[in-house]
Amino acid sequence: MTLPAEYDLAVLGAGPAGLAAAVTAARAGARVALVDAGDRVGGQYWRHREADDGTGHHHWRTLVRLRDSLPRLDFLARHAVWHVERTGAGFTLHTGHGEVRARALVVATGAYDRQLPFPGWTLPGVFTAGGAQALLKGHGVRAGSRVVVAGTGPFLLPVAAGLARAGAEVAGVFEAGSPAGFARSPRAVLGSPGKLAEGAGYLKTLVRNRIPYRTRTAVVAAHGDGEVRSVTVASLEEDWRIVAGSEREIACDTVAVGYGFTPQLEIPLQLGCETRLGADGSLIAVADRQQRASVPGVYLAGEVCGVGGAELSLVEGELAGLHAALTTVGAEPDRARVTRLLRRRESARAFAGAMHAAHPLRPGWLSWLDAPTLLCRCEEVSVGTVRGAIADLGATDARTVKLLARPGMGLCQGRVCGYATACLTAAEQGREPTAADLAASAGRPIAQPVRLGDLADG
């Protein structure tokens, strides 16, 4: 493929938000490059095999409709963007296959699993919930035979239901919080009937397969010699401290654990975009009503603006595409269409807010950790080592802890341990984690793994 010298718009990420933004802008007449590290469009939400007929995928018709518009734009598959910089009046994207230049940019890079450590979480057989789901969706592979699903949030339900439909024995779903919290936001919940129907379908699968569903319960340890053989689950107090005497052991060969998601912000931070703490305690990028970032020419859509699900991502992507097309090629968006999209965004954001309020992370999870528990898997930094850096070496923030004790300096560059390190550092000083604590591990000069030869060529 011969690429234009410069596109009107480059869209980073081919999930729901990025795909919607790219197709919308292309239909408005913009020359668009949709850039993604994967082989096909869909992102994590629509992860699928080439011959997949959509069975088990929600909003599959939406994906097909958007995918049918790909001839209008250039889809640059297997183009992992490792750095973006402003050059002149536009931007240059550095990828493993060369440079892509564009006048404007939509960042829709999504999110990844937010992980909380616990004793034994580094054993083979302990997966993130998203990892177990990706294996199943992308490759048709069950993560294990007898699986425990644990964590907090609605995402646990599709993971458990998918594993059960694939033939795995799901030994239980252990929700650290309680979905009863949704009752505090009846208007937001009733305004999203599709979400209610989706959740009811998952619960029906759990009932059909006689899968236990326990609230205020968590996996607090995993056990095994070389691989996981069992987990300890325990009932939790309101703040997630363990109820004394409630611990019990459950045999399993796999654990899928998920505590929500963390927005992938390397590119917005490289560009200097404003960030803040989101409703769920994650670091998010700030966008205005037109999905514009604080940096001119940059638009944001989807989970980078705060985790809210596929429906919200699609709406934000469409808004970003409309306004990016207005900026780059002067395509005036239909006002009625924008008004409808803004209403849908308000409704979807209200549901996302209710979800975060119903499934908050409570600080008591830190009490599950003992000194030998590894906080940083890559550098093998223990909880005790981090506490020592704070108590003995005087570290007062996550960045200093990183410099003194090395959590976040390994292969993942803090993607796995960054949130936990920020929480532990703040808790040791009797405060809540701040945006600065989280930014210490979220900003990376190289956003994706890249070969040294590509760096030399760039």
d(CA 272, CA 115): 26
- pLDDT tens per residue across span 320-342: 999 999 999 999 999 999 999 99
d(CA 31, CA 197): 38
Give the pLDDT confidence score for residue 443 in this predicted structure: 87
Q: Write the burial class of residue 137 (CB in 10 Å: 0-12 exposed, 13-18 middle, 19+ buried).
A: buried
In the chain, where are the structural domains located?
Answer: 7-112+262-356, 117-258, 366-442
Q: Which spans in 209-334 are helix H?
A: 266-270, 310-329
Q: Buried b / exposed e across 21-57, counting CB within 10 Å, b at 16+?
A: bbbbbbbbebbbbbbbbbebbbbbbbbbeeebeeeeb
What mean pLDDT is reported for the chain? Answer: 93
Q: Within a 13 Å sphere around the CA of 176, how many CA atoms are in the beta-carbon half?
A: 25
Residue 149, helix vs strand vs coil: strand
Give the pLDDT confidence score for residue 186 in this predicted structure: 86
- pLDDT tens per residue across span 149-161: 999 999 999 999 9
Q: Quick one: average pLDDT of 378-399?
A: 94
Q: Quick one: average pLDDT of 266-291?
A: 96
Within 10 Å of residue 212's Cβ, how many Cβ atoms?
Answer: 12
Give the pLDDT confidence score for residue 453 in this predicted structure: 78
The CA-CA-CA angle for residues 51, 56, 62, to 5°, reads 75
- pLDDT tens per residue across span 66-100: 999 999 999 999 999 999 999 988 999 999 888 99
Phi and psi at 299, nearest 5°, equal -120, 150
CATH superfamily of 7-112+262-356: FAD/NAD(P)-binding domain (3.50.50.60)
Q: Is 132 left (phi over 0), alpha (psi -120 to 50) or beta?
A: alpha
pTM, entire model: 0.94
Do strands 381-382 and 7-12 pair parallel, antiparallel, or not at all (unpaired)?
unpaired
Q: Write the burial class of residue 252 (CB in 10 Å: 0-12 exposed, 13-18 middle, 19+ buried).
A: buried
Q: Which of 214, 257, 217, 260 is nearest to 237 (CA)?
A: 217
Residue with tokens 């993604």: 36
Q: Quick one: average pLDDT of 9-20?
A: 97
Contact (Cβ atoms closer than 8 angstroms) between residue 166 and residue 135: no
Q: In CATH terms, are 117-258 and 366-442 the same topology?
A: no
> Is the confidence at residue 256, as pLDDT, over 70?
yes
Q: Quick one: average pLDDT of 406-427?
A: 94
Q: In the chain, pLDDT over 90 holds for what percent of residues?
A: 82
Q: List Cα–Cα distances, 435 to 357, 361, 419, 440, 442, in angstroms.
A: 19, 16, 11, 9, 10
Give the pLDDT confidence score for residue 55 in this predicted structure: 67
Contacts of 336 (CB under 8 A, 6+ apart): none
Give the pLDDT confidence score for residue 334 in this predicted structure: 94
User: Which CATH number is 366-442 given?
Assistant: 1.10.10.1100
94 forms beta bridges with 83, 99
Structure tokens at 399: 């960045």
Q: Quick one: average pLDDT of 388-401?
A: 93
Q: Quick one: average pLDDT of 89-114?
A: 95
Q: List Cα–Cα distances, 291 to 214, 298, 391, 452, in angstroms.
A: 39, 9, 43, 35
More confident residue, 235 or 49: 235
Q: In the chain, pLDDT over 70 holds for what percent of residues?
A: 98
Considering only CA atoms, give the Rg of the chain: 22
Residue with tokens 């053989």: 229
Q: Which spans in 179-229 are helix H?
A: 186-190, 193-208
Helix and strand numbers, DSSP H then E, in the chain: 14, 21
Q: What is the DSSP letter of 168?
A: -
- One-letter amino acid for residue 216 of the chain: R
Give the pLDDT confidence score for residue 223 in this predicted structure: 98
Banded model confidence at residue 47, pLDDT cuts 50, 70, 90: confident
Give percent helix, percent strand, percent coil of the chain, each to the nearest 5.
40, 20, 40
Q: Which of 309, 318, 303, 292 is nearest to 347 (CA)?
A: 309
> Is the confidence at residue 52, as pLDDT, over 80?
no
CATH class belonging to 117-258: alpha beta
Give the pLDDT confidence score for residue 2 in this predicted structure: 67
> Is the confidence at residue 22, as pLDDT, over 70?
yes
Structure tokens at 357: 């309020």
The CA-CA-CA angle for residues 16, 98, 73, to 5°, reads 40
Give the pLDDT confidence score for residue 347 in this predicted structure: 94
Contact (Cβ atoms closer than 8 angstroms) between residue 416 and residue 435: no
